[in-house]
Structure 1
Amino acid sequence: MARLSDRAAGAVGSLGEYLAEQRRHAQLSLRQLSDLAGVSNPYLSQIERGLRKPSADVLQQLAKALRISAETLYVRAGILDPDDSAEGTDGRKVAGVVDAVLLDPALNERQKRVLLDVYTSFVRENAAPDEPPATQPPARKRSAD
């Protein structure tokens, strides 16, 4: 778990930058977003500047106001690990792809979930290919007669 808390400490600044970017993308002022989310204007400003780490509840309120996934903000804040189990065929974590999907504002939540499900199934399929037992001869190609 130390890995997550280390990541959380480094993610606060990027969370604030991401929130500010999403707020601008939604064409909302700081005051408008604070009103919509039910958080104070100074507190939201401190979050955006990376001075405060908001709770999961505050992140959920902000996500709802911005019409983005709360999960996306949890990942950005280091509260949620995007996908601990997915590994590439070379054993490296594929969190970069998961982050990209979760953070893409062009996708809705259903699309993100479906895309990640498909991606994860492909990664698992390629990471652990089923090998035939050693006692069976390799399959032969059929020739067209």
Structure 2
Amino acid sequence: MAKGKVGKTVETLGDYLREQRTGAQLSLRQLAELADVSNPYLSQIERGLRRPSAEVLQQIAKALRISAEQLYIRAGIVSPEDGVGGTVELAVLNDTGLTERQKQSLLDVYASFLALNASSTADRADEPSDEN
């Protein structure tokens, strides 16, 4: 039974990783070894079948000698728009004292606060003015 693609963002990530790997003249096996991940797992990431954790992305970025932030953006973890919480998200993702689950929980709470603040700002903008 074949699995479907995880999502468009991951497919884009996989294509980007493949381009970076071939540009670095590394085989899939060589990159897997350098990043300390299994060859089949890396292959699944490149094909868009698996969504890697921030920690795995960081290991792959280090092995490819590219920015982990670029991989976070490609994976949809960090927004590419300037000023949209990227610094907070990167700080959480780079904190070695947290588990992957704790990192994801913090990012989820942070995203919900941003969404709540955006909706309350929009609600206030829709209220009639008291000026006459």
TM > 0.5 fold call: yes
Quote the residue 1:106 is aligned against. none
Structure 1 moving runs of 4+ over 4 Å:
none
**Is residue 2:10 matched to residue 1:12?**
yes
Q: Higher helix share goes to which structure?
A: 2
Which ranges in structure 2 are unaligned for 5 or more consecutive residues?
A: 1-5, 85-132
Quote the residue 1:39 is aligned against. 37
Residue 9 of structure 1 deviates from its aligned partner by 3.6
Which ranges in structure 1 are unaligned for 5 or more consecutive residues?
A: 1-7, 87-145
Quote the residue 2:71 is aligned against. 73
Aligned length: 79
Cα distance in 2 for partners of 1:44, 1:17 equals 12
SS for the counterpart of 1:79 is coil
- The alignment's TM-score, normalised by the length of structure 2, stands at 0.57
Max radius of gyration: which structure?
A: 1
Identity, % of aligned positions: 71
- The alignment's TM-score, normalised by the length of structure 1, stands at 0.52
Cα distance in 2 for partners of 1:76, 1:53 equals 11
Residue 82 of structure 1 deviates from its aligned partner by 1.6
Aligned partner of 2:46 among 21, 26, 48: 48
Root mean square deviation, CA, Å: 1.6
Quote the residue 1:24 is aligned against. 22
Residue 85 of structure 1 deviates from its aligned partner by 3.9
- What are the superposed Cα offsets for residues 37-88 of structure 1, whole Å, 9 maximum, x if unpaired? 00000000000000000000000000000000000000000000122548xx
